[in-house]
Structure 1
Amino acid sequence: MIERRPFDTLGGADHGWLKAKHHFSFASYNDPGRMGWGALRVWNDDTIAPQTGFPPHPHADMEIITYVREGAITHRDNLGNEGRTEAGDVQVMSAGSGITHSEYNVEPGTTRIFQIWIIPDESGKPPSWGARPFPKGERSGRFVALASGFKEDTEALPLRTDARVLGATLKAGDTVDYTLESSRYAYLVPSTGAVEINGTRLDARDGAAIRDESVLRITAIEDAELVLVDTAA
């Protein structure tokens, strides 16, 4: 089962400095049929104007992954962590028992991010934050784990949940397969380009909610950059 969710049908909000599209119910956008997908709770497509951003605010008991599509985002939190994450790179904040953070676009140009929230396996753990670069060449023609709750994914940022966030880049005409275990949930979004997944076309920033597909065969119609979440129920 693959349910395509076209970008122009997503809920959203325009705050001036922030233009947001929501793949799932979030803030003032409420859709009882889109409260999450397995443990995946939020997938926001945010466009942030220069010299603006999210002021300090708290979170608890959520794994928050930020995938930077364009520009850069600068993180600060009350644990003393500070870092700048550039396009193609990833940061993970495990909110745990509670953390207060800000995320600003201090760049001269627009920043675009995917913000992904996944429910953790356990609550009340100490909060943490980390970021790392993922050169796009390393994931050319294949999926690479960017953040993961699986110990075997030693190069990925750690998650406290039974899930992986993966990235891939494909040239037009290239195909990549991904095996999805039974009972797992997958959600795929092309950051750029267009692909066909098991016969279903996805254009840039469309979403695909996937279940009961043992193998995902993804062929690039155009050069494409992909982000995939594979999670338990």
Structure 2
Amino acid sequence: MTEHRPFTSLGTLSRKWLSARLHFRIGNLGQLAHRPLGPLVVWNDDEVAPHSGFGLHPHRDIEIVTWVRSGAITHEDDAGNRARLVVDTVQAMHAGTGIHHAERNDEDAPARMFQIWLQPRAPGGTPRWTMGSCSKTQRDGQFVTLASGDPADVRAGALPIDTNARVRIAMLREGLSMRVALDSPQAAYFVTDHGRIDIAGVRLEPRDGALVTDESNVLIDAISDTDVAMVELLG
């Protein structure tokens, strides 16, 4: 079963410095029908204006995965950590018992990112975050796991997250067809970036989402060159 979530149907959050589309409902924001998928509770498509951003703010008991699609974002936290996330960079943060952090665009151009929130397996734990990258060459024609709650994925190079899900990305070129096997419970959420795909017979335009459930594998046909990100649930 495939539920199409067109970009134009997504909830919105607009500020002078932020333009966001919400693939999942957050509190009173977003579409009522766009309910969480297991531990996947937030997938925001964010654009942050130059020389602006989120000031210091708190999180706890949540796993946050950030994928930078253009521009750069600077992260700082109350433990004294600071890092600049550029294009093709991923960050995985375990908020644990509580962390305050800031996310700013200190650049002269807008920054675009996907930010994904997942509920942890258990509350608490020491806050931490890790970073990695995935080049276009690495993900050309195949899905690469960016972050995962599966120890085998972590041993293979994925960033660790304490949740029953994995976050993956692929760059698909026009004309490519591929099948993606889904782990039990056979559920995943897919988002295109700048191009178009057909997924399980449904056409996705740029920045559309697709919720796929009860499928052991999913056929994807690339109509144009694009990145495709996905969160797959784990048993």
TM-score (norm 2): 0.96
Partner of residue 70, structure 1: 70
> Could you say what secondary structure the match of 1:192 adopts?
coil
The one-character-per-residue Cα deviations of 1:88-142 (angstroms, maximum 9, x if unpaired) are 2111111011000000001110001111001010110111011112111101101
Equivalent residues of 1:39, 1:232 under 8 A apart: no
Correspondence list, 1:12-23, <5 A? 12-23=12-23
- Residue 170 of structure 1 pairs with residue 172 of structure 2: yes
TM-superposed deviation, 1:210: 0.9
Partner of residue 216, structure 2: 214
Q: How far, CA to CA, are the matches of 1:41 and 1:179 in structure 2?
A: 22
Equivalent residues of 2:183, 2:234 under 8 A apart: no
> Could you say what secondary structure the match of 2:150 adopts?
coil
Partner of residue 95, structure 1: 95
Aligned residues: 233
TM-superposed deviation, 1:80: 1.8
Partner of residue 199, structure 1: 201
> Could you say what secondary structure the match of 1:44 adopts?
strand
Correspondence list, 1:42-57, <5 A? 42-57=42-57
Partner of residue 225, structure 1: 227
TM-superposed deviation, 1:79: 1.6
Partner of residue 158, structure 1: 160
Mean alpha-carbon deviation: is it higher for 137-146 or for 176-185? Answer: 176-185
Q: Where in structure 2 are there 5+ consecutive unaligned residues?
A: none
Equivalent residues of 1:38, 1:232 under 8 A apart: no
TM-superposed deviation, 1:87: 1.3
Partner of residue 182, structure 2: 180
TM-score (norm 1): 0.96
Give the AA of the match of 1:178: V
Q: Report the RMSD for the aligned CA atoms in angstroms.
A: 1.3
TM-superposed deviation, 1:81: 1.6
Equivalent residues of 2:22, 2:43 under 8 A apart: yes
Equivalent residues of 2:195, 2:225 under 8 A apart: yes
Give the AA of the match of 1:92: A
> Could you say what secondary structure the match of 1:152 adopts?
helix
Superposition misfits of 4+ residues, deviation over 4 angstroms: none
Partner of residue 112, structure 2: 112
Q: Where in structure 1 are there 5+ consecutive unaligned residues?
A: none
Q: How far, CA to CA, are the matches of 1:167 and 1:118 in structure 2?
A: 17
Mean alpha-carbon deviation: is it higher for 144-153 or for 51-60? Answer: 144-153
Give the AA of the match of 1:68: V
The one-character-per-residue Cα deviations of 1:141-181 (angstroms, maximum 9, x if unpaired) are 01010011111112111111111000000110012221113
Q: How far, CA to CA, are the matches of 1:181 and 1:66 in structure 2?
A: 23
Q: How far, CA to CA, are the matches of 2:115 and 2:201 in structure 1?
A: 27
Q: How far, CA to CA, are the matches of 1:185 and 1:119 in structure 2?
A: 16
Partner of residue 4, structure 1: 4
Equivalent residues of 1:81, 1:129 under 8 A apart: no
TM-superposed deviation, 1:231: 1.5
Aligned-residue identity in percent: 44
TM-superposed deviation, 1:28: 4.2
Equivalent residues of 1:141, 1:175 under 8 A apart: no
TM-superposed deviation, 1:54: 0.2
Equivalent residues of 1:76, 1:82 under 8 A apart: yes
